[in-house]
Amino acid sequence: MIELIQSGKPLSFRQRLLLTAKLSWPAIMAQLSSILMQYIDAAMVGRLGADDSAAVGLVSTSLWLFWGICSAATTGFSVQIAHRIGASDPTTARKIFRQGILMSFLFGVFSSMVGLAIASPLPHWLGGEGEVCGKATIYFAVFVGALPLLTLNYLGSGALRASGNMVVPGSLNVMMCVLDVFFNMLLIFPTRDVSVAGIGFTMPGAGLGVLGAALGTVAAEVVTAAAIMWYACCKQPGLAFKGEKGSFKPTKQVMSNAVRVAAPMTLEHAVICGAQIMITVIVAPLGVMAIAANSFAVTAEALCYMPGYGIADAATTLTGQSYGAKRKDLAKEFGYLTVGLGMVAMSVMGVVLWIGAPYVMELLSPVKDIQDLGSSALRIEAWAEPMFAASIVAYGVMVGVGDTVWPAVMNFSSIWLVRVPLAALMVGSMGLDGVWLAMCIELCFRGGIFLWRLISGAWLRHGLKTEESTLAKETEEADMPNELPPSY
């Protein structure tokens, strides 16, 4: 059905709705598997004690900073791939993909080196103390060490989604969740006796604690990254090389477009995660229980925005291919449709979160104080879910056409000018509840400004403008063998 976009044929509302649902469902499943993995990690680490939970929570926002920057860096290539697929030009799409592989890997190496350099002092900068800092350093270092391969995972998943394939990334992310459970069970806890359905057996284990949690998750991510890249390079129609020779050398037009799309997103992630780290600093003086509760509540809330990010992935593909096919009216129709669906889905999830908050926190931590603090925070946040959905999906819509500058400014301005000041103001009188109330207010404000931009249509006027002849010429020249002087 997605070929209807490329063919120029009209799509009825029913066809647009069905296509959105078909692309969103696998993407939501991928988000669900990722979130379940966070739940599993948090629940397993939570069983080790409050100090271990606090160690993970202390550096979690810093890890999101690195993950987000690496993911944003690959988006500059996947958006161009979507445009070329929409324009029925798979040859150029493959050339862009090759360049993306090299540049994404190098960016991951650079990010990893920066992360390892700050791994030791980081927990102290964030206000951690004692044994918590040592465990936090280990956890952080393992994850940033794997960034080169994780960045290729982001690129491969983005390229497949840009081609309209949501099923393979979704399925492989479900596999990653299963592998994460398996590796964590072996690495976090020591060898112990286990009983399942009345059948007792000895479960082997390395007893590595926090280190085991990091190693288990990274191992699952590396296996998944290898599988995704293999499928994208060898099997995916329009992307698979199939013995085709081509250069990985970056070209001016592709890199210029990639930087134009990715640079604002990368800066945005850095600034937003900087604000989230500041929130961690604001929470840290409240004590170990508050740090752990805040971390667990953030993990628990991910269940709510799972549909939003899944639909946003579909929106990026649909608007990107429509824009590449020069069908701006269709891109706008998909924008309105996906944002509306996202708001409905996350409104339902907000109700589920409000009702289930105490039960979710019981799953994540056996400590009563952590459960109470986290439940209260989640019930405050549940009210913001509809407008949070508006910002998430509208952002995906705008990224699809290559409009990233103003959405990035809107995102980081909202969090720094609204959330951080309000959190700092209210934490003294309301504690952790004040921090989460500030978050709720800010997300509602952010959703409002994204709806305004969506309706105004400004995002379509600021999409990526590509000279197709220049792009094709440059990628062809990059594939030509270099002439060597006779003296060589």
- The total number of structural domains in the chain stands at 1
Is 88 inside a domain boundary? Answer: yes
Q: Position of tokens 């057996």? A: 201
Q: What is the 3-state secondary structure (H, E, C) of 251-310?
A: CHHHHHHHHHHHHHHHHHHHHHHHHHHHHHHHHHHHCHHHHHHHHHHHHHHHHHHHHHHH
> How confident is the model at residue 4, as a pLDDT?
73
Is 484 inside a domain boundary? Answer: no
Q: Which pTM does this prediction carry? A: 0.78
Which of 28-32, 190-194, 255-259, 465-469 holds the top average pLDDT? 255-259
Least confident of 152-156, 398-402, 483-487: 483-487
| pLDDT mean across residues, the chain | 86
Q: Residue 199: beta bridge partners? A: 196
Q: How far is CA 285 from CA 51, 127, 128, 289, 414, in A?
A: 15, 8, 9, 10, 24
Contact 156/108 with Cβ under 8 angstroms? no
Share of the chain above pLDDT 70, in %: 92
Confidence of residue 57 (pLDDT cuts 50, 70, 90): confident
Q: Which residue has the higher pLDDT, 478 or 25?
A: 25
Confidence of residue 386 (pLDDT cuts 50, 70, 90): very high
Q: Which domain holds residue 406?
A: 3-194+202-479
Counting DSSP H helices and E strands in the chain, the numbers are: 19, 2
Torsion sign (Cα): 345, 351, 354, 356? negative
Q: Which residue has the higher pLDDT, 470 or 92?
A: 92
Q: Residue 203 phi/psi, 5° resolution?
A: -95, 115
Bridging pattern class, strands 190-196 and 199-206: antiparallel
Is 372 inside a domain boundary? Answer: yes
C-alpha 299/C-alpha 287 separation (Å) is 19
Is 67 inside a domain boundary? Answer: yes
Which of 3-7, 228-232, 319-323 holds the top average pLDDT? 228-232
pLDDT at 369 over 70: yes
Torsion sign (Cα): 123, 124, 127, 132? positive
Is 367 inside a domain boundary? Answer: yes
Reduce the DSSP state of residue 158 to 3 states and report it. Answer: helix
C-alpha 265/C-alpha 279 separation (Å) is 21
Is 486 inside a domain boundary? Answer: no
Q: Residue 203: beta bridge partners? A: 192
Is 440 inside a domain boundary? Answer: yes
Least confident of 19-23, 42-46, 210-214, 312-316: 42-46
pLDDT 10s digits, 332-355: 999 999 999 999 999 999 999 999
Is 485 inside a domain boundary? Answer: no
> How confident is the model at residue 469, as a pLDDT?
47
